[in-house]
Structure 1
Amino acid sequence: MKNLILLFTLFIASSNFAQTDAEDKAAILKIMKNQEKAWSANDLEGFMQGYWKSDSLKFYGSNGLTKGWQQTLDKYKKGYPTKEHSGTLNFKINDISKISDNSYWVMGEYFLKRSVGDANGIFMIIFKKINGEWKIVADTSC
């Protein structure tokens, strides 16, 4: 009987873990879908809502390391000043893996279809749950 209770407890715990993991991934994917929409509308502030609004945010790209939410937004505004420059964004997610209870990495590809020339690349971003919300705390894109 003890073995049956232990087995049932383990089953419930693993089911809750799998359900939470699936819910976390769905929430992260929703944020990224919202980012695609905002970017494609040249709403860079809307795009940045997926990022942690902190000076500790880190973005690492071809121009080096940028620290801070506002600095990252300013770089985006400078590099993508018009709809022709921002184009239409699509992500292809290749992997979402749990790092710890409150963090995941997302690896994928981005595709910018633009009249000024398409731009494509790869990324790895780190999401962390902060105050009950998933936010990107680090982004490496090239």
Structure 2
Amino acid sequence: MRTLLTAVCLLCFLPMVTLAQSADEKIIRQTLHDQTEAWNKGDLEAFMKGYWNDDSLMFVGKNGVTYGYQNTLANYKKNYNGPDQMGTLTFNLIKVERLSPEYYFVVGKWHLKRNAGDVSGHYNLLFRKIKGTWVIITDHSS
């Protein structure tokens, strides 16, 4: 009887767990998933589709601040110029937090398994909904 009661309680709360993730959050998580797949195929242009294609895009990395979509893409191409440098990317999300109807804040960990030596670090992203599309407007990766 106790097992049956536990099962019924779990079934009652399961829909609430599923609904806890909003449609916007699902889109953001899908964007990060799509970026991972693009990276692992060696397709930096497809990887960049998650970013705001604008001169105001801000990327903060170990070498400082880079502004602009094209500059960020050029840095990726320069620093990850082939399969040995790109390796296999994995993201582990730590936090996905809605700040407002227009902004989400994401914190996670990235890891590259590669022939040139594994590297990893953390990132925080600021997503903004622009013209109905969620895009990364700020990326701070270390």
TM-score (norm 2): 0.85
Give 1:21 shift. Answer: 5.9
Q: 2: CA distance between counterparts of 1:61 and 1:75?
A: 10
Residue 29 of structure 1 pairs with residue 29 of structure 2: yes
The residue type equivalent to 1:123 in the other structure is: Y
The residue type equivalent to 2:107 in the other structure is: M
The aligned counterpart of 1:102 is 102
Cα distance per residue 1:57-78 (max 9 Å; x no partner): 0000100000000000000000
Cα distance per residue 1:33-65 (max 9 Å; x no partner): 000000111111110000000000000010000
The aligned counterpart of 1:67 is 67
Give 1:22 shift. Answer: 1.2
The aligned counterpart of 1:38 is 38
How many percent of aligned residue pairs carry the same amino acid?
41
Q: 1: CA distance between counterparts of 2:48 and 2:108?
A: 18
The aligned counterpart of 1:51 is 51
Give 1:20 shift. Answer: 9.2
Question: Any gaps of 5 or more consecutive residues in structure 1?
Answer: 1-18
Q: 1: CA distance between counterparts of 2:20 and 2:131?
A: 17
